């Protein structure tokens, strides 16, 4: 979720802010109790918009970099704020976890080893970690030419999504199809960023993504006759449609939306525990539009302070470590 400093992606930053607000709205506004939630999953739309932005930005943050530089950049960008959120969650959420589960949650790899996540929103970070592992593998295999092979990673993600759908239908209902679709969304965005939306490769990838979303939605969630098929299909479709509209507008509003993106990671991590923190002081606080608005505003204030005092210093620290090595020749 980093930002290439010299890239014209200010509107893409706005997309991150919108995605975080959508997820917060889904969790806090009472949206899940509305009838429309059976047909449109607003939270997952926000999540897949996040995935698209992550894939779009990774083109800048990975091109021509060594494994060491890429890992250090991701570590200093993601983990300090994440660790603070884990501590905050443990303190305020009305749940109890054993010490090993808490310890594993500090790694961001807890679900790989079968441990519970202490906050529901962390599930997307697991998919982000899988994505970064694939990027590391690509850097090792292809080095500075890795961006020329994006279609390979996209194809592998599509195969994974279809394979997990087959597992869901035949063997295990809990198969994590979202990993395959999440990776496919990120690599679709990377292809569009690398080649442009009008390029045949990008259009072909978009068509394959649409068919994959249709197949995984129908066979994974539509076989029991419920509306889950429509809900998942609309989730993928609306998220990508929003992303493409934002992409089309990326050159029009430069320099206006950077802060929205910079605070989005914190808003995503902290909106639920901040709500529970407020509930300690506000008797009878319930999910609803007012709770979402008040919680979002307070969370953004907290996130601004954390951005200035935690995120920025650690990001600068990470840049100092990566500057110790000569810059690699970019494939862009």
* 167-193 per-position pLDDT tens digit: 988 888 888 899 999 999 999 999 999
Contact 59, 147 (CB under 8 A): yes
pLDDT of 253 strictly over 70: no
CA 284 from centroid of its chain's CA atoms: 32
332, pLDDT greater than 50:
no
Q: Is the pLDDT of residue 300 over 80?
A: yes
Amino acid 327: pLDDT: 40
Task: Name the pLDDT band for 63 (thresholds 50, 70, 90).
Answer: confident
Average pLDDT over residues 50-79: 89
Q: Tell me 256's DSSP state.
A: S
Q: Please report which confidence band the pLDDT of residue 146 belongs to, taking 50, 70 and 90 as the band edges.
A: confident
Read off the tokens for 270.
């902290």
Residue 39 has pLDDT above 90, yes or no: no
Residue with tokens 């943050």: 61
Which range (161-175, 184-198, 214-228, 233-247) has the least confidence? 214-228
Instruction: Give residues with Cβ within 8 angstroms of 107, minimum separation 6.
Output: none
Is the backbone of residue 331 left (phi > 0), alpha (psi -120 to 50) or beta? alpha
Nearest to residue 44, comparing CAs of 128, 108, 123, 126?
A: 123
SS3 at position 282: coil
pLDDT of residue 224: 54
> Using CA atoms, how far apart are residues 23 and 12, in angstroms rounded to an integer?
17
Q: Does the pLDDT at position 41 exceed 50?
A: yes
| Band of pLDDT at residue 105, cut at 50, 70 and 90 | very high
Whether the predicted pLDDT of 289 surpasses 70? yes
C-alpha dist (Å) from residue 109 to 102, 121, 214, 232, 299: 12, 14, 30, 26, 25
pTM for this prediction: 0.90
Phi and psi angles of residue 115, each rounded to the nearest 5 degrees, phi first: -95, 150
């Amino acid at each position: 979720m980093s930002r290439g400093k010299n890239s014209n992606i200010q509107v893409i930053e706005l997309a991150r802010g919108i995605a975080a607000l959508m997820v917060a709205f889904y969790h806090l506004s009472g949206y899940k109790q509305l009838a429309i939630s059976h047909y449109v999953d607003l939270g997952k739309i926000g999540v897949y918009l996040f995935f698209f932005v992550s894939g779009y930005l990774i083109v800048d943050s990975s091109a021509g970099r060594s494994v060491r530089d890429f890992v250090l950049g991701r570590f200093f960008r993601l983990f300090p704020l994440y660790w603070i959120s884990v501590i905050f969650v443990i303190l305020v959420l009305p749940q109890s976890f054993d010490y090993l589960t808490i310890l594993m949650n500090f790694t961001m790899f807890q679900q790989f080893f079968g441990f519970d996540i202490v906050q529901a929103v962390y599930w997307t970070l697991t998919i982000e970690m899988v994505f970064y592992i694939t990027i590391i593998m690509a850097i090792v295999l292809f080095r500075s030419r890795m961006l020329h092979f994006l279609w390979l990673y996209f194809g592998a993600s599509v195969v994974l999504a279809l394979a997990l759908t087959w597992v869901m239908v035949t063997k295990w209902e809990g198969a994590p199809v979202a990993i395959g679709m999440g990776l496919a969304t990120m690599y679709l965005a990377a292809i569009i960023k690398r080649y442009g939306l009008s390029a045949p490769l990008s259009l072909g990838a978009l068509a394959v993504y649409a068919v994959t979303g249709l197949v995984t939605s129908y066979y994974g969630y539509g076989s029991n006759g419920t509306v889950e098929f429509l809900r998942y299909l609309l989730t993928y479709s609306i998220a990508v449609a929003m992303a493409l509209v934002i992409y089309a507008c990326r050159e029009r509003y430069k320099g206006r939306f950077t802060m929205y993106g910079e605070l989005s990671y914190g808003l995503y991590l902290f909106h639920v525990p901040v709500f529970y923190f407020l509930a300690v002081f506000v008797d009878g606080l319930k999910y609803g539009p007012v709770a979402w608005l008040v919680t979002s505003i307070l969370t953004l204030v907290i996130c601004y302070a954390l951005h200035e005092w935690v995120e920025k210093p650690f990001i600068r620290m990470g840049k100092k470590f990566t500057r110790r090595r000569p810059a690699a020749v970019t494939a862009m």
